[in-house]
Amino acid sequence: MLSVLKSLQSVRHWLRVHGVILSINIHERLLYRGDFAFGTLVRFLPIVTQIFLWGAVFGVGTAAARSTLHDYTYANMIAYFLLVNVGRAFSSMPGLAGSIARDVKDGTIKKYLTQPVDMLGYLFSARLAHKLVYYLVAIGPYVLVFFLCRRFFDGWPDALTITGFVVSLGFAFLLGFLIETMIGLFAFWFLEVSSLIFIFMMLNYFLSGHMIPLDWLASQLPAPLDRGILFLPFQYLAYFPAAVMLNRFTHGQLAQHLVVEAIWVLVLLAANRVLFARGVRRYGAFGG
């Protein structure tokens, strides 16, 4: 009984500490809400270019117009890229890996080692605050864009599919965070991780379905690469949430993918903990 009470006290303490961290980071980002809002709105400009780009690819309005391309109609493709932007709004973590590497390089990471605050927990709360402010600012423009582009969608999927979509967005946030922190933690072993960040960005651009739908890309690859890229966690950062809302998975396939996604979250969480523990053991900092 005593151990249960201690566990509950520990949980309450953790929630209280990270609640304060979350609140502080939200207030910090709201101090520059004008700059934050402008940066958020600018990110919607690529959506316009995607509409014109794929209109040219499908030959919309010309005599040589294509009805489908790799099982995607023009409307499917625009709807896909609109939904990919939603997925990336959850999974992208700009600057996270680089900030961890800088903290290791210049010794700032000492503050996490000398204070009773877990570094990964603090970074998670800070990034969650960043996303909450982003969603608060971006919800209006997103609603407007989807309303104006409603003709590209075939209608709402069923409630179970929508639930899976929402869950997949939460997992996308966790996967994006864990992958970025893992890359940043390699700074304990490498003086510079910018090359690793660049490699990850390139792989993410292709293998997450950001450039073209991942099933389209897989169909152009030889075996076993065509199946291999579908087992990687990258697809869950952008392609999977979009494909779910486009009804490209049965309920059974959706459940299987969510289980695989949860396993990837646990694997990456364990990898982060191992890297951080081993990195701290070999880390040395001197001076004040």
Cβ proximity of 91 and 209 under 8 Å: no
Rg (CA), the chain: 21
Fill in the amino acid letter for 124: F
**What confidence tens digit (pLDDT) does each residue in 108-150 have?**
888 878 777 788 888 898 888 888 887 877 787 788 888 888 8
Average pLDDT over residues 177-189: 93
Using DSSP, state whether 118 is helix, strand or coil. Answer: coil
Average pLDDT over residues 6-17: 61
Q: Which is more confidently placed, 64 or 262?
A: 262
* Angstrom distance (rounded) from CA 283 to CA 189: 9
The mean of the pLDDT values for the chain is 84
Cβ proximity of 190 and 196 under 8 Å: yes
Average pLDDT over residues 268-280: 93
For residue 102 the two structure tokens come to 């800088």
* Angstrom distance (rounded) from CA 200 to CA 185: 14
Domain range list for the chain? 14-282
| Percent of the chain residues topping a pLDDT of 90 | 33
C-alpha separations of 173 from 24, 46, 59, 65, 113 in Å:
20, 21, 36, 38, 26
Phi-psi region of 93 (alpha: psi -120 to 50; beta: other; left: phi over 0): beta
Using DSSP, state whether 69 is helix, strand or coil. Answer: strand
Q: Given pLDDT bands bounded at 50, 70 and 90, which one contains residue 13?
A: low
Q: Given pLDDT bands bounded at 50, 70 and 90, which one contains residue 249?
A: very high
Q: Cα dihedral sign for 158, 153, 49, 67? A: positive
Average pLDDT over residues 200-229: 84
